[in-house]
Amino acid sequence: MALIAKQGNLPKTPHTEFYVIPDVLALEEIQGSYGFSGAWSRKIHVRNYPTQVIKDPKLANFSFAPRLESEAPFQPYLIHSINIPYEKDFLTGRIYLCAGTNSNMSIIKTEKSFPKDTYFKNGEHHELFFIQEGEGVLASEFGELKFKKNDYIIVPKATTYRVDLTSKKVWALLIESKLPIEWPAHYMNQSGQAHMAAPVVETEIEIPVLQPFKDEKGEFLVFVKAPCGKVTETVLGHHPFDVSGWEGALYPFIFPILNHHGIAREIHTAPPVHQTFQSGQVPHNGFSLCSFVPQMEGWHPKEVPAPYAHLNVDSDEFMFFCNGSYGARKGIIQDGSITLHPGGIAHSPHGLAARKSLDSRGQISNRLAVMLDTYFDPLVITKDALKYADSDYATSWNRAVDGVTGT
Ligand SMILES: [Fe+2]
């Protein structure tokens, strides 16, 4: 994050004597990425350190370890997340679909908020949610974020939070990353602002609204996710949202996908122009996250709007289709479909999509999709994803699709 924010009541000079409650020394906490070298924030706790656990930690009765299917063939996959039932709650309802060394992807479909008085922190990964359907509130020590359909929510690693639904149900895509999730470095100028030719404007984010601090004693359950997806149950003796103020560049925020302002070109443009976020040091590790928003197709008189077949050997491609309007996959996908294309296998538009796309020169489609390209981090499909996979997808380029033949 490049946008430095400040909220609430905190000392003017860092790490100096400060009182929010008379005669009670306020206590400072730094939450940082890349150790002490990346984006960070300072939080002021009114009375207690966040370390004050009152019970021995114990393993939770659930795990977030993806159930990898190591025997699955090396092939492209199509997964229909629309068929995943709404179950469990927003905390425990993660259905892991695939995982690599640095990143993994899951779907949450639920009608229930976090259990009462329960909190979570992901100590293994930074998190990025995409809200396909529904709305709610993500409350953290930084404040409250009200989210809705088509929002990205970025939650830095180890942020303590809970989620409450304000609609009957929520359907979300969740991407976890060991490496920090940030704006692409090449979008930023030397002063840390997005330059004026970038498709994203960093001031179009929504930042948490800090709530009055909670100076409460009791037993507060915080589930912590650790390496290998192991979840540990910890209990604090004070409310985790005891922050009177914070400042810095590391905090949860929302960026609506439609705030990605697409850049069109006379001829077809390669996916990097659609990039919204990245994790790590792209293209050496981490991932690029692209937003395929409605925008004008190329208008060259001989333009072929459909993409080419492509083989990106150092990059696996995970794509979530918010609707079925993506030209290259029409007739194959529906709302919430997901394709997983391994880097070692070429993929292309289906059937005669390239020929059909000629009619869309200079037109604006209503496509909406989120794409993740990992770098040097092959993704392994899970047993849970295979329950919702199209068993004929690998041969789908060779069969009739929506009136379009594959020959
Ligand atoms: Fe692709």
Beta bridge pairs of residue 225 = 122, 231
DSSP 8-state code for residue 283: T
Q: How far is the CA of 332 from the centre of ligand 1 (A)?
A: 15
Q: How far is the CA of 47 from the centre of ligand 1 (A)?
A: 51
Q: How far is the CA of 405 from the centre of ligand 1 (A)?
A: 20
How far is the C-alpha of 47 from the C-alpha of 153, rounded, in Å?
29
Q: How far is the CA of 313 from the centre of ligand 1 (A)?
A: 12
Q: Is the pLDDT at 1 greater than 90, yes or no?
A: no
Q: How far is the CA of 259 from the centre of ligand 1 (A)?
A: 23
Q: Residue 328: what pLDDT?
A: 76
Q: Is the pLDDT at 403 greater than 50, yes or no?
A: no
Residue 241 · residue 70 · CB < 8 Å: no
The model's pTM is: 0.95
Q: How far is the CA of 75 from the centre of ligand 1 (A)?
A: 14
Listed by start position, the domains of the chain span 29-65+84-256, 260-394
- What does the pLDDT look like over 372-381, one tens digit per residue? 999 999 999 9
Q: How far is the CA of 6 from the centre of ligand 1 (A)?
A: 40
260-394 to CATH, choices 3.40.50.10440, 1.50.10.100, 1.10.10.10, 2.60.120.10? 2.60.120.10
Rounded average pLDDT over 329-338: 88
Phi/psi of residue 332, nearest 5 degrees? -105, -40
Q: How far is the CA of 192 from the centre of ligand 1 (A)?
A: 30
Query: In 10 A of CB 104, how many CB atoms?
Result: 27
Q: Is the pLDDT at 80 greater than 50, yes or no?
A: yes
Q: How far is the CA of 362 from the centre of ligand 1 (A)?
A: 21
State the pLDDT confidence band at 68, using cuts at 50, 70 and 90: very high
Beta bridge pairs of residue 62 = none
Q: How far is the CA of 305 from the centre of ligand 1 (A)?
A: 14
Closest by CA position to 242, among listed 158, 115, 114, 143: 143
Q: Do 29-65+84-256 and 260-394 agree at the fold level?
A: yes
Q: How far is the CA of 250 from the centre of ligand 1 (A)?
A: 31
Q: How far is the CA of 106 from the centre of ligand 1 (A)?
A: 20
Domain at 29-65+84-256, CATH class: mainly beta
Q: How far is the CA of 83 from the centre of ligand 1 (A)?
A: 23
**pLDDT above 90 coverage of the chain, percent:** 86
Q: Is the pLDDT at 407 greater than 50, yes or no?
A: no
Q: How far is the CA of 186 from the centre of ligand 1 (A)?
A: 22
Q: How far is the CA of 296 from the centre of ligand 1 (A)?
A: 19
> Average model confidence (pLDDT) for the chain?
94
Q: How far is the CA of 244 from the centre of ligand 1 (A)?
A: 46
Helix (H) or strand (E) holding 155: strand 151-155
Q: How far is the CA of 310 from the centre of ligand 1 (A)?
A: 6
Q: How far is the CA of 318 from the centre of ligand 1 (A)?
A: 9
Q: Is the pLDDT at 401 greater than 70, yes or no?
A: no
